[in-house]
Amino acid sequence: MQRIYFNNAAAAYPLAPGVLEAVTQSLQSYPQIPGREASDASDSLEQCRKNMARLLSVSACQTAFTSGATYGLNTAILGLGLKQEDLVIATVMEHNSVLRPLACLEDLYRVRVEHVPLEQDIQLDENVYDKLLAQRPRLVIMTHASNVTGRINPVRLWFQKAKSVGAATLLDASQTVGRIPVKPDELYADMLAFPGHKGLRGPMGTGVLYVSPAIQLNPTFVGGTGVKGDVRRQPEDMPTRLEAGTPNTPAFAGLNAAVLHYMEHM
C-alpha cells in the first residue's frame, strides 16, 4: 500500500538532496570538535553557519546553532532578563514553544503576558495590538505563519510599530524559512528562531537562533565551549555565548547540504 506524507508543518519529507550523504560522510570521518581541533576541525559547522547567515542576510557571528526552534525560542524568551511587571505581547496564534516559556515567566517572575486575539475574519486584531503597544512592552513575539492554518502574519508592520515604542522583537519563523524569503532586518526582527527540519528539509535536531548585535541575551545553558576554558563564566562573544556543549556536527553537515540545495533552487 502506498503511503502519502502530509505532515510537513511538523517535519518535512523527503529530506533535501545531499543531506543523507553529508550526514553519513561526517559520521564516517574523524570526529569534529569545534574549538578543540586544528584549523579544519569545525569546517562543516562553520560552513553551515556562513551559508545560513548568507540565506538570512545577517552576520555569521550573530547566528547561533540550536537543537531546534523550541530551544531557540526558549533561549530568546528566557535570556532577555524580563522581570516583574515587564509586558510581553504575543498572539493567540503562537506555538507552545512560545506559550510555555512565557507561562514560566508569568509563574516565576510575574511577567505580564498579553495575547492579541483574532477578529471575526480570522485576522489578528490590530486595534488591540495598538492599545497594548501604548503600554510600552519589553518584548513582542509573533509567529511568521501559523502551523495550523498557514496564514502569514503582517510581521513587518507590527514589528516596525513595536520598535517605535522601544520593544525587542522575536520572530518564530518555523513555518517560513525555506518556504518564503525571510530577512530579519527587512522584517524589523531583533531575534529569529527556526528549525532545520521543516522548510529547509534538513535533519531533525537542528535549528538556528539569530540575535541582533543590539541584543545581548543571558545564556540559559552553560558549559563546555572548547575555547576560553580558563574563564569561569560562559564566554561573552557570540555565538559561543549561546552554544554550550558538543554540537551535533553530523546533523549540521546535513543542514548545510539542505541550505545549499535550497539556495541553488530558490
Q: Who wins on pLDDT, 111 or 221? A: 111
> What count of Cα atoms within 13 Å lies in the side-chain half-sphere of residue 196?
32
Alpha-helical runs (H) found in 136-248:
155-164
Q: 232 falls in which pLDDT band (50, 70, 90)?
A: confident
**CB 116: neighbour CB atoms within 10 A?**
23
Predicted confidence at residue 41, as pLDDT, reads: 41
134-152 confidence digits (pLDDT tens):
999 999 999 999 999 889 9
Q: 224 falls in which pLDDT band (50, 70, 90)?
A: confident
φ, ψ dihedrals at 135, nearest 5°: -90, 5
Q: Which residues of 119-150 are buried (b: 16+ CB within 10 A; e: fewer)?
A: eeeeebeeebbeebbeeebbbbbbbbbbeeee
CA angle (131, 170, 203) in 5-degree steps: 145
Confidence check: pLDDT of 230 > 60 = yes
Average pLDDT of the chain, as a whole number: 93
Q: How far is CA 187 from CA 48, 181, 218, 222, in A?
A: 23, 11, 24, 30
175-222 confidence digits (pLDDT tens):
999 999 999 999 999 999 999 999 999 999 999 999 999 999 999 988
Confidence check: pLDDT of 154 > 90 = yes
Q: 1 falls in which pLDDT band (50, 70, 90)?
A: confident
